[in-house]
Amino acid sequence: MARTRQQKELIGLAALVVIGASIWYFHLERSATPNSGSSAGSYTPINAQDYGRIFIGLTKAQGTEYKSAGRNIFVMGAMPVDVAKQAPIKKPFPSYGPQLPAPPPAPVLPAVFFGYGMLPVGGARQAFLKEEQGDGVLIVSEGDLVLSHFRILHIGNDRIDFEDTNTGLKGSKNLEAPPSA
């Protein structure tokens, strides 16, 4: 005879109940046995330290007082130095033999850099210089000679770099705002 679907489900359910009951029964039986690992005969005490020395060290540490050496421990930085406590500074030995000459001073462009501009369609940047002695305005590009011996090296947004062709020294001049009226 063919069994119906409901009968098959009931048989499966009965089998699962039998399996669950047997597992529960055997599990409770094993955990209730008095011969498990928690018996009094298998107890071993732990290896504990003697805390007497630690407590003595703690009482000594509690008795100490903070004594400042003059430095604030809450401020980052070096301790202020007293000039009187410093060791006297020894003067270096005098140098013997020929002395090196002082480096030459940086060249000074005798003009005021007061602006810059660009020609349309990707042209070169040009600087506007006003002569200090006179009323002339010079419009120069990078690579031009100014006042017959200053070559313009770079025109920036806030300064102009140049080279004195007589000495080969390089210098720069900052952009100066026009005097307010």
The pLDDT assigned to 115 comes to 83
Q: Please give the average pLDDT of every successive group of 10 residues along the chain, which has 181 residues.
A: 86 95 84 54 76 86 80 72 66 82 86 81 82 82 88 89 91 76 51
The pLDDT assigned to 17 comes to 96
- In the chain, the domains with their CATH numbers are 111-174 (2.30.30)
The pLDDT assigned to 136 comes to 81
The pLDDT assigned to 13 comes to 96
pTM, two decimals, is: 0.43
pLDDT digit string, tens, across residues 17-58? 999 999 999 887 766 555 555 555 677 777 777 888 888 888
pLDDT digit string, tens, across residues 55-68? 888 888 888 887 77
167 contacts 107 by C-beta, under 8 angstroms = yes
The pLDDT assigned to 102 comes to 87
Give the residue among 122, 120, 163 at the shortest CA–CA distance from 142: 163
114 contacts 130 by C-beta, under 8 angstroms = yes
The pLDDT assigned to 22 comes to 92
The pLDDT assigned to 31 comes to 62
